[in-house]
Amino acid sequence: MTLKTFDSKALDTILEKMISAVEESKHEIFEIGEQCRQDYESLVKELEEIKTTVSVVIDQTDELETKSRFARRRLAEVSRHFHDFSEQQVKEAYEQAHMIQTQLSMNRQREIQLRNRRNELKRRLYALKNTIERANHLVSQTTVVLNYLTSDLRDISEAMEDARHKQEFGLRVIEAQEEERKRISREIHDGPAQLLANMLLRSDLVEKVYRERGVDEALIEIRSLKELVRDSLKEVRRIIYDLRPMALDDLGLIPTLKKYLSTTENYNQNVMISYTHLGEEKRLPTNYEIALFRLVQESLQNALKHAKATKIIVKTELRKNAFIAIVKDNGVGFDVNEVKEGSFGIVGMRERVSLLNGEITFHSKMGAGTLVVIQIPF
């Protein structure tokens, strides 16, 4: 069957069924992951409780062992000098020793049971963690397939024009989008979401303090709550700004970099960031401005998060036929020849530069900072 005689409606029907099946599978995988995550949190809580109980039982066992030694000595003394003690004293010595020994045996048995339960929980937690990771990976991969089905393959005639190129490029873009969404999701979960949850707890605390300690103590808690709100707002603004600065479209690359670097320095008060631009401050094509901004942004974030730098120097230069960007820090440095598993930051930067036919080099060694040099030709 040729493309001319191929029934596009039949293909659309097939695609709809595939999309429906993939969406249903994605939902089921997500539900499995969520259920495993809930089970994991429940088991973690139970494990902490068991660890506490085991500690208490061990202390009790140690105490009973001490008592048992004294009881055995008392019993031995009574046995050696049987005629020097009354019948009641002999009976009490035997009963005391038997009772302590019974309690000690029960405690030891309980300790064994608790340890076995603890080990079982650890094994289950390990298995659940693997299941959660696999579920997250499958959801991500399913999303990539789903996006591909609902975008590139919708228009088969356009896809057939250059199928191999579109497939490689489309998947690369979709994977990058998914990674960015995951990053944003993590930032929101670890930042504003946690702050908001804390604010909710603190609001309950304010109400409790007001009832139990009065207005003055409650006002102190309210001031603390205001600080949390302020931190949450600052974090939300930072995430929004990181997504895409509006100034990039309005003012261009150089003014946006100045503003971004200044804002980043304000957010990181223990870090000094300097910026210098050489050459004319003129607008570049949109794709170049976006790519160059992201490259400088990624280099800066690497210096802040991974290098733990306290001083960062950023220089840019617009030449007649190229744009140069340099980011230098005084951080801990890294081995440029070592590729860390699961680290895609530098790989992503190389890919972005490669799409613009540019070059990027990393000069670094442990304890001596890092120098990133980016050259994009026009």
Residue 273, pLDDT score: 93
- Residue identified by tokens 């019974």 is 102
b/e per residue 308-335 (b: at least 16 CB within 10 A): ebeebbbebebeeeebbbbbbbbbebbe
For 8-157, which CATH class?
A: mainly alpha
Four-residue CA torsion sign, 365, 366, 371, 373: positive
pLDDT in tens, 16-51: 777 777 777 777 877 887 888 888 888 888 888 888
Check whether domain 249-378 has CATH 3.30.565.10, yes or no: yes
pTM for the full predicted model: 0.42
The sign of the CA dihedral 283, 287, 290, 293 is negative
Q: Domain coordinates of the chain in residue numbers?
A: 8-157, 162-243, 249-378
Q: Which of 328, 316, 340, 320 is nearest to 370 (CA)?
A: 328
Same CATH topology for 8-157 and 249-378? no
Higher pLDDT among residues 241 and 203, named by residue: 203
**What pLDDT shows up at residue 4?**
43
The position carrying tokens 């031995």 is 76
What is the tens place of the pLDDT at every residue in 214-224?
777 777 777 77
- Average pLDDT rounded to a whole number, residues 278-283: 88
